[in-house]
Structure 1
Amino acid sequence: MSINWSILYRGTLSGCNYSCDYCPFAKKKDSRKVLEKDAQELNRFVNWVETRKKERIGILFTPWGEALIRRHYQEAMIRLSQMPHVCKVSIQTNLSCSLNWLENCCKEKVALWATYHPTQTTMHQFLKKCQQLDAFQVKYSVGVVGFKEALREIEEMRQKLPENTYIWINALKKDAHYYTPEDIYRMTAIDPHVSYNLINHISKGFPCRAGHTTFSVNGSGDITRCHFIKVAIGNIYDANFEQNLYPRLCTNDTCGCHIGYVHLEKLQLEKVFGDRLLERIALINF
């Protein structure tokens, strides 16, 4: 039986066209040399995926910066979506790029993590992009950072988006007392699953799909179990690398990021997201 692989890919690209002051990444512009290297690495990865016809593969791009403003990522999404054995291809994006390239995708397989950054764009501009995605019939979810002062605007976003569009909130967890019970009530009305993101989940010693059926890959092809355990366990371009993929227990004390804890078996988040785990699109919103 074919193995189902969920692959999180993060290449060399790290530049972004946004400059959110709360973002610890993407504070620079990538040089032409870096972009050329990133494009070469991405093309090699896509070529490799094309050879893995015995596996049913889902891919989530998790770039440090904004990738979809780069043509090589748009072309990779198009090409991957057209491969019969790739069941889905998703990417984290601020939706600032043109979306016309989506016309060339197999739209049933493409999904976007669309993040709204109110200091970098207007709600009107962002909603216009969401309306384009609706017109293209491309699946997407909308994410926001859960700053208390932004809750009113997030509530407005909830009212203006279609009811079946899932909005997720990335909660701030450094201060355990940051949110009041009223804040949590308001956030839950927007994102009924925000409780999973309000805490750092105890993970050490618990089974996780990371390193078995899901794994992270960098531009060189090096594999880590996930983005948060940095020890390499192989390289996808090596022969028989699959022998390094097997069930494991988490070695970190806690896991507080969705792309990590969603694979913790004890949380059973497949009941919330079903086969849309990579896309971060909940099955039931309300």
Structure 2
Amino acid sequence: MTPHLTVLYRGPLASCDYDCPYCPFAKRRDSPEQLRADRAALERFAAWAAAYRDGELSVLFTPWGEGLVRSWYRRAMVELSRLPHLRRVAIQTNFSCRSDWVAEGDPERLAFWVTYHPGQVSQERFLAKCRELTALGVRYSVGVVGEPDHLAPARRLRAELPDGVYLWVNAADGRSYTDAEAAEWAALDPLFGYSRDPHPSAGRPCRTGDSVVSVDGDGTVRRCHFVRPPLGNLYDGSYRAQLRPRPCPLAVCDCHIGYVHLETLPLYDVFAGGVLERIPHGW
């Protein structure tokens, strides 16, 4: 079997064009120097990915801010999608950007994890973006944060989206849901139960640090975004000797991009073929 590595890349970009009240990066502005640094870091990472020869590669961009309003993220998505050894390149995004560039990439490898933020964009405009992605023939999922005032817009969104587009719901940070509240969200996302409560993870096997790693803008490799001790650096190759199965050192894991890799959960089967873009198998 061909070796396969999944990389979650998060550079220094922290600016966003939205001002969601539940997000610490809302309407933050990066300085021109910060943007130049982010562009240089991303271009360095893309060059590394193009030269990767240790097997197949998948990439998920998880920027703190909104990446696709920046030309270098759009270009990286297109260029990476054309690499023969790249299985999938996906990004977490609000997709407020234009969409014509998507046609330049390989639709079999490009994918999008798109979040709908009520109050930041009209539902009509957001649905128009979804229709554009559908017409372009690329894989995408759509989701919302499970805030109480998002329930009605999420219901309208589900009614308007094609049945073939999966609508996910992220539990809001710090919010506890009654069974009745959880049932309302589960009516929209049958997998909401996985997001509702943090997952015990201490001492449990996880694919991160073995077949999945996170990478910062300077090339520092960690097992995931939430476990800070470094495994080495991407660009000097020092991370390779540290790749191996190991248990999670944290008490709980409460973010989808983390717990989806826990071996004690069945999510690699649930999302088979769509782990990075959060699309359940056969949806």
What is the TM-score normalised by the length of structure 1? Answer: 0.96
Name structure 2 gaps, 5 residues minimum. Answer: none
Q: What is the deviation of 1:173?
A: 5.2
Structure 1 residue 238 and structure 2 residue 220: aligned? no
Structure 2: which amino acid aligns with 1:12?
P
- Between 1:125-134 and 1:167-176, the stretch displaced more is 167-176
In structure 2, the residue matched to 1:5 is 5
Aligned-residue Cα RMSD (Å) equals 1.2
In structure 1, the residue matched to 2:195 is 197
CA distance in structure 2 between the partners assigned to 1:46 and 1:175 by the alignment: 37
Q: What is the deviation of 1:284?
A: 4.5
Deviations 1:208-236 (A, max 9, x none): 00010000001100001101011111101
- Secondary structure at 1:111 match in 2: strand
CA distance in structure 2 between the partners assigned to 1:239 and 1:193 by the alignment: 37
Q: What is the deviation of 1:271?
A: 1.5
> For the Cα contact (< 8 Å) 1:173–1:199, is it kept in 2?
no
CA distance in structure 2 between the partners assigned to 1:175 and 1:13 by the alignment: 27
Aligned residues: 283
Q: What is the deviation of 1:183?
A: 2.1
In structure 1, the residue matched to 2:112 is 112
> For the Cα contact (< 8 Å) 1:62–1:91, is it kept in 2?
yes
CA distance in structure 2 between the partners assigned to 1:56 and 1:9 by the alignment: 16
CA distance in structure 1 between the partners assigned to 2:226 and 2:136 by the alignment: 34
CA distance in structure 1 between the partners assigned to 2:168 and 2:15 by the alignment: 24
In structure 2, the residue matched to 1:158 is 158
CA distance in structure 1 between the partners assigned to 2:37 and 2:69 by the alignment: 16
User: Which of these residues, 200, 211, 214, is aligned with residue 212 of structure 2?
Assistant: 214
- Secondary structure at 1:275 match in 2: coil
CA distance in structure 2 between the partners assigned to 1:53 and 1:82 by the alignment: 15
CA distance in structure 1 between the partners assigned to 2:275 and 2:112 by the alignment: 12
Q: What is the deviation of 1:265?
A: 0.1
> For the Cα contact (< 8 Å) 2:9–2:62, is it kept in 1?
yes
Structure 1: which amino acid aligns with 2:240?
E
> For the Cα contact (< 8 Å) 1:173–1:198, is it kept in 2?
no
Structure 1 residue 65 and structure 2 residue 62: aligned? no
Q: What is the deviation of 1:275?
A: 2.0
- Between 1:275-284 and 1:37-46, the stretch displaced more is 275-284
- Between 1:23-32 and 1:40-49, the stretch displaced more is 23-32
Q: What is the deviation of 1:52?
A: 0.9
In structure 1, the residue matched to 2:28 is 28
Deviations 1:188-247 (A, max 9, x none): 111010000001000000000001000000110000110101111110111353111110
Deviations 1:126-161 (A, max 9, x none): 000000000001110001011122212111110100
Runs of 4+ in 1 over 4 A off after TM superposition: none
CA distance in structure 2 between the partners assigned to 1:106 and 1:87 by the alignment: 11
What is the TM-score normalised by the length of structure 2? Answer: 0.97
CA distance in structure 2 between the partners assigned to 1:239 and 1:219 by the alignment: 15
CA distance in structure 2 between the partners assigned to 1:147 and 1:175 by the alignment: 8
Distance 1:112 1:175, change over 3 A: closer
> For the Cα contact (< 8 Å) 2:59–2:90, is it kept in 1?
yes
In structure 2, the residue matched to 1:80 is 80
- Secondary structure at 1:40 match in 2: helix
CA distance in structure 2 between the partners assigned to 1:211 and 1:180 by the alignment: 35
- Between 1:24-33 and 1:62-71, the stretch displaced more is 24-33
Structure 1 residue 16 and structure 2 residue 22: aligned? no
**Following superposition of structure 1 onto structure 2, how do residues 126-137 of structure 1 map, counting pairs within 5 Å?**
126-137=126-137
